[in-house]
């Protein structure tokens, strides 16, 4: 099936589901090719809903929302409290099902300090990380008690960076006319 329109108000392909319950799809695309795409578009993408992907987890299909990035990352956010200059932050087990954390795909951790202190450093692990105050907690007792945390990790099986995308050879493809 191919859809096209030369009208300034037209739509090449239109899908509508009028059901008010159940899981429905206005437009659905699928491919079995590892080099293929279930849906490919040229030009901008716009919509009124959130952009997400569905990831298989032990709780069933789970929606994940991603930042735009040259790498494929999932992120988790939280906060922690330093006690005696240290905090261990364990990552959510469901989040861990969706990411790869290993030597080839290390976790990235960004800490936002909320109090005055001598700074902190981070020691990452496979399921969490430690935040440690620099120069010892005893220098500024009672300081550096809370911080905001952002942890980013490579998506499971998707740690590729900026992979080349072959353009489809479809009739009327603007890229082929250039």
CB atoms within 10 A of CB 56: 11
pLDDT at residue number 166: 55
pLDDT at residue number 160: 45
What's the pTM?
Answer: 0.63
Q: Count the alpha carbons within 13 Å of 60 in the hemisphere toward its beta carbon.
A: 0
- Please say whether the beta carbons of 119 and 71 come within 8 A: no
Q: Find all residues with CB under 8 Å of 76, minimum gap 6, and list them.
A: 91, 92, 95, 150, 151
pLDDT at residue number 125: 93
| The 3-state secondary structure of the chain, one letter per residue | CCCCCCCCCCCCCCCCCCCCCCCCCCCCCCCCCCCCCCCCCCCCCCCCCCCCEEEEECCEEEEECCCCCCECEEEEEEEEECECCEEEEECCHHHHCCEECCCCCCCEEEEEECCCCCCEEEEECCCEEEEEECCCHHHCCCCCCEEEEEEEEEECCCCCECCCCCCCCCCCCHHHHC
DSSP state of 161: B
pLDDT at residue number 128: 93
Please give the chain's pLDDT, 178 residues, in tens: 566 667 676 667 778 888 888 888 888 888 888 777 788 777 777 777 777 888 888 988 888 877 777 777 888 888 888 888 888 999 999 999 989 899 988 999 998 887 777 788 999 999 999 999 887 654 445 555 556 778 888 876 544 444 455 555 554 444 444 4
Q: How many residues does the chain have?
A: 178
Residue range 73-155 forms a domain whose CATH class is mainly beta
């Amino acid at each position: 099936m191919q859809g096209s329109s030369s009208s300034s108000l037209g739509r090449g392909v239109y899908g509508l589901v009028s059901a008010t319950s159940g899981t429905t799809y206005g437009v659905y695309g699928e491919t079995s090719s590892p080099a293929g795409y279930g849906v490919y578009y040229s030009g901008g993408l716009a919509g009124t809903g959130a952009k997400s992907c569905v990831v298989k987890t032990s709780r069933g299909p789970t929606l994940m929302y991603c930042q735009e990035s040259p790498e494929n990352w999932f992120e988790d956010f939280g906060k922690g409290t330093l006690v005696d200059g240290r905090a261990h932050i364990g990552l959510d087990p469901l989040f861990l099902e969706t990411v790869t954390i290993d030597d080839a795909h290390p976790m990235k951790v960004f800490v936002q300090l909320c109090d005055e202190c001598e700074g902190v450093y981070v020691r990452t692990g496979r399921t969490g990380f430690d935040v440690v105050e620099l120069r010892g907690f005893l220098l500024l007792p009672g300081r550096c008690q809370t911080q905001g945390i952002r942890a980013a990790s490579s998506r499971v099986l998707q740690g590729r960076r900026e992979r080349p995308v072959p353009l489809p050879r479809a009739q009327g493809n603007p890229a082929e006319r250039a």
